[in-house]
Homo-oligomer: A and B are copies of this chain.
Amino acid sequence: MTDVPSIDPRTGATVEIVAAETTPEQVDQFARQALAAAGPLDAMGRHGRAGLLDRLADALDTAREQIVAVADRETGLGTTRLTGELTRTTYQLRLFADVLRDGGYLEATIDHAADTAMGPRPDLRRMLVPIGPIAVFGASNFPLAFSVPGGDTASALAAGCPVITKAHGSHPATAQLCFDVLAAAASDAGAPDGTLGIVHGQQAGADLVAHPAVRAVGFTGSTVGARALLAVIEQRPDPIPFYGELSSLNPVVVTPAAASDRGAQIGADLVSSYTLGAGQFCTKPGLVFLPAGPDGDATLAAMGEAIADTTAMVMLNAGIAHAYRNRTADLRAEPGIVTVASGQTTDTTGSRGTPLLLTTTVADLPAAATEECFGPVAVVARYRDTAELLAAIDGLPSSLTATIHRGADDPLLLADLSGRLLTRAGRLIYDGYPTGVAVSWAQHHGGPWPATNSQHTSVGTSAIRRFLRPVTWQNAPADVLPAELTDDYDTIPRRLDGDPYIPGRR
């Protein structure tokens, strides 16, 4: 058995041994318990599970001080950020309780028997049902929002699916603590045993993905990690859905008019965005298009000053910091790449990484600068005219986000930019910054490969759709139908014989 250590990235010291790596027999046991819990969790109903989610949020709030302290010690992200992250997580749990009470997520649809142009149609009633146990892979960079607690867990539980999380090796103590808090609250709230499970260790994660009881995987991590788990899925007799949030460049375009209007401010704010959390956000702006000429020069200068004011940052673990140092060294060695500014390098060993600002022209833009580089670095690519800018955008990979800073006088450019960026991003941001993803009904956190491998979101209310599948009942007697599909059930949005219906507005 291999120990799972909790390491302080500020010192490199092992603070405690959290657990032993989970054995194949234990993975099997968790998976079987989860399968056994699936029916009872579904049977709690929408209102029962809404109450459960509220209780989980309350429990995390109650344990907030302890959770934030352990997470800070283990990730170095700081208590302000981690407090905000936990608030986001409890907000999200309560929002999914609202989603359950609303009921529209079920997509309940009734077509009564009728004669149609293609002949007689039987009575058909469709809604979404939970798919069964979900494996959730915690991310290194969001110990509280994309880990044991977080969007995947909240949306899967809301859907009615038991969750087994694979704790990230970079914060196993945080993962285990959150699990203990959530599991106790779930039990208190009457959820079945097996509603939540946790495994530690890379092999245990692979075993979990291979287990017959597991019906889907939620994953936030690298494309390499995703490809490895997809290979495990491909070996299953029954391949299952894999929802991966993977790699994202998050390009930012500053139009000439925006640079002229407020270039220096944009520059300073961009540096805040790309160094936030030591640049370890999936939405970090990694590539900035700035116009050539004096306005762009002023923007770049403001960015350089802001970077020069920074110091080396504690990253999530020594491996990530090591990869950051290697990646940025390679990037700086690319022809045409110029280093504009560095943070003050007090210590670049262990888990520390120095913030960097690099620049080039769109004509010289190396392919390496169009791939995500995890950490506090951005590349600024200068463009001479609209044609050059648009051609460069057409060469970009897809991202979770794309951002446009615009001025008063470029509506045509704006429409062109929006149209092109739309094809390669899941969220278009205007005059803002991509870091900070609001949790809401209209949010989308996704995008074409390599941003994700799915057409779903991992943030926002529609994330629940990943863990549901449709079922249609044909000519079913009322007593076997889910209540939401019976004729008189009028408290949720439905579609009836083709027409949308919402409660209270007959």
Contact = CB atoms under 8 A, between A and B. Distances in A.
Contacts of A125: 442
Interface string A456-495: 1100101000101111111111011000000000000101
Given A111-B441, A131-B455, A472-B443, A480 B448 contact: no
B455 A241 contact: yes
A442 B111 contact: yes
Given A428-B472, A448-B238, A502-B500, A111 B418 contact: no
Interface stretch (A113-121, A299-307, A332-340, A355-363): A113-121
A268 interface: no
A111 B439 CA distance: 10
Interface residues of A, number: 89
Given A104-B495, A442-B109, A474 B422 contact: no
Contacts of A98: 498
Choose among A91, A126, A460 the residue with the greatest number of B CB atoms under 10 Å from its CB: A126
Interface string A423-454: 10111111110000011111110111110011
A482 to B, nearest CB: 10
A234 interface: yes
A487 B462 CA distance: 21
Contacts of A422: 129, 471
B131 A118 contact: no
A230 interface: yes
A57 to B, nearest CB: 10
B239 A473 contact: no
A427 B474 contact: yes
Interface string A90-128: 010010001000101001011100001111011011100
A107 B105 CA distance: 11
A498 B457 CA distance: 17
A387 interface: no
B109 A472 contact: no
Contacts of A111: 438, 440-443
Nearest to A446: B470
A241 B455 CA distance: 8
Choose among A129, A230, A443 the residue with the greatest number of B CB atoms under 10 Å from its CB: A443
B471 A428 contact: yes
A124 B238 contact: no
A1 interface: no
A227 to B, nearest CB: 8
A186 B480 CA distance: 45
Contacts of A441: 109, 111, 126, 495, 497-498
A475 B118 contact: no
Contact of A238 (B110, B122, B234, B450): B450
A348 interface: no
Contacts of A501: 502
A294 interface: no
A453 B240 CA distance: 7
Contacts of A456: 470
Contacts of A322: none
A161 to B, nearest CB: 12
Nearest to A113: B438
Contacts of A107: 462
A63 B441 CA distance: 46
A475 B440 contact: no
A466 B456 CA distance: 11
Contacts of A415: 479-480
A241 B448 CA distance: 10
A411 interface: yes
Nearest to A110: B442
Contact of A480 (B414, B432, B470): B414
A460 B495 CA distance: 13
B440 A121 contact: yes
26 contacts: A87-B117, A88-B118, A111-B440, A111-B441, A111-B442, A118-B438, A121-B438, A121-B440, A122-B432, A129-B422, A234-B234, A239-B453, A241-B455, A415-B479, A418-B480, A426-B470, A426-B471, A428-B472, A428-B473, A429-B474, A430-B475, A442-B472, A443-B472, A447-B469, A455-B466, A500-B500
Across chains A and B, which 6 residue pairs bring their CB atoms closest together, nearest first? A444-B472, A238-B449, A124-B442, A126-B442, A109-B442, A111-B442
